[in-house]
A and B are shown apart, each in its own frame.
Chain A
Amino acid sequence: MSRQNTSAYLYILPTFAVLGLFVYFPIIASARLSLNRVAPFGNQEIWVGLGNYTRLLQDPEFWDTIRVSVLMTAGTIVGVGVAVGIAILLSVPMRRLSWLHRSLIFVPVVISSAIAGVLFRLLYNPVVGFFNYWLSLVGIDGPNWLNSRSWALTAVTITVVWRQIGFNVIIALAGLQQIDEQLYEAAKVDGAGVIARVRKITLPLLTPTLFFLLIVNVIISLQTFGEINILTDGGPGRATTNLVYSVFVDAFVGTSFRGFASAQAFLLAILIVVISFVQFRGLGKRVHYG
Chain B
Amino acid sequence: MSVVGESVDGAVVVGEREIVSKPGRSLVREWPVQVILLVIGFVISLPIIIAVLMSFTPLREIVGRANPQFFPDQWTFENYRTAWTATPFFRFMINSAIQTGVITIFQVVFSILAAYAFAMFSFRGKGFLFGLLIASLMIPFELTFIPNFIMVSNLGWANTYQGLTVPFLASAFGVFMFRQFFMSVPRDLYEAAKIDGASDWFYLWRIMVPLSKGAVAAFGIFSFLGAWNQFLWPLIITNEESMRTAQIGIRFFLINQERATDWGAIMAGSAIVMVPTLLAFLVAQKQLVKGIAASGLKG
Contact = CB atoms under 8 A, between A and B. Distances in A.
B138 A94 contact: no
B172 A175 contact: no
B267 interface: yes
B250 A103 contact: no
A27 B143 contact: yes
Given A106-B289, A110-B277, A244 B142 contact: yes
Interface stretch (B36-44, B73-81, B209-217): B36-44
Where chain B touches its partner, the secondary structure class is: helix
For A209, A230, A283, which residue has the most chain B Cβ atoms within 10 angstroms? A230
B33 A92 contact: yes
Interface size class of A (residues with CB under 8 A): 35 or more
Given A11-B113, A22-B167, A119-B51, A112 B277 contact: yes
Given A15-B170, A115-B250, A128-B68, A268 B142 contact: yes
A22 B148 contact: yes
A229 B251 CA distance: 9
Interface string B162-201: 0000111111100100000000000000000000000010
B82 to A, nearest CB: 15
Given A15-B114, A93-B24, A128-B263, A27 B292 contact: no
Interface in A62-117: 86, 89-117
Nearest to A266: B143
Given A33-B147, A104-B42, A12 B129 contact: yes
Contacts of A115: 247, 250, 270, 273-274
B292 A167 contact: yes
A46 interface: no
Nearest to A185: B19
A138 interface: no
Given A122-B267, A185-B19, A209-B296, A11 B38 contact: no
Contacts of B86: none
A29 interface: yes
A58 interface: no
11 contacts: A7-B121, A8-B126, A19-B170, A22-B166, A27-B144, A96-B26, A114-B229, A114-B250, A181-B27, A258-B146, A276-B138
Given A27-B143, A122-B51, 5 more contacts: A12-B118, A16-B129, A107-B281, A170-B293, A181-B23
Interface of B: 10, 14, 17, 19-21, 23-28, 33-34, 36-38, 40-42, 44-45, 47-48, 50-51, 54, 62-63, 67-68, 109-111, 113-114, 116-118, 121-124, 126, 129, 132-133, 136-151, 166-172, 175, 200, 225, 228-232, 235-236, 247-248, 250-251, 254-255, 261, 263, 266-267, 270, 273-274, 277-278, 280-282, 285, 288-289, 292-294, 296-297, 299
Interface of A: 1, 4-5, 7-9, 11-12, 14-19, 21-27, 29-30, 33, 42, 86, 89-123, 125, 127-130, 133, 162, 165-167, 170-171, 173-175, 177-178, 181-182, 184-185, 188-189, 209, 212-213, 219, 223, 225-226, 229-230, 244, 247-248, 251-252, 258, 261-262, 265-266, 268-269, 272-273, 276-277, 279-280, 283
